[in-house]
Amino acid sequence: MANIVGLNTPQIDIGQLGSAYLADTAAFTPPTGKVIVAVLSLADATKFTALTPSNGDHAYAGTVTQVTANGTNPDELPDTQTFPAGVTIYGRWTGLTLNGGAVIMYFGE
């Protein structure tokens, strides 16, 4: 049985603040006050043209690297990286642009 904190408490860590579907190459920006917290690949995401980590105390994988927050010698996601259908990545991003494929993006604060 799932651990439900409270039926009226938003589960922001699992995207209960909304989601959006993206299957084109237009730049996506989450709603005001929200960030993308998870990306579920529905069809092979052939590359992220942009996956912009949010600024803050923590760093997340993306097409831009926050070197000091990501530790020593992190790499940006390469242009050739494919996320197969069914894969979910987690983090905090302020923008996403696909080169190909289809995803559902889940929002948090």
Q: What is the mean pLDDT of residues 92-101?
A: 88
Q: What pLDDT does 57 receive?
A: 54
Q: Is residue 11 part of a domain?
A: no
Higher-confidence residue of 54 and 73: namely 54
Strand order in the sheet with 88-108: 19-22, 88-108, 35-53
Is the pLDDT assigned to residue 76 strictly greater than 80? Answer: no
Mode of pairing for the β-strands spanning 35-53 and 19-22: unpaired
Q: Is residue 76 part of a domain?
A: yes
DSSP 4: -
Q: How confident is the model at residue 69 (pLDDT cuts 50, 70, 90)?
A: low
Total domains in the fold of the chain? 1
Using a pLDDT cut of 90, give the percent of the chain over it.
29
pTM of the model: 0.75
Q: Is residue 6 part of a domain?
A: no
Q: Is residue 73 part of a domain?
A: yes
Q: Is residue 63 part of a domain?
A: yes
**Residue 36 sits in which domain range?**
16-108
Q: What is the pLDDT of residues 38-64, one digit of tens each?
A: 999 999 887 777 777 776 655 566 655
Is the pLDDT assigned to residue 1 strictly greater than 70? Answer: no
DSSP 83: B
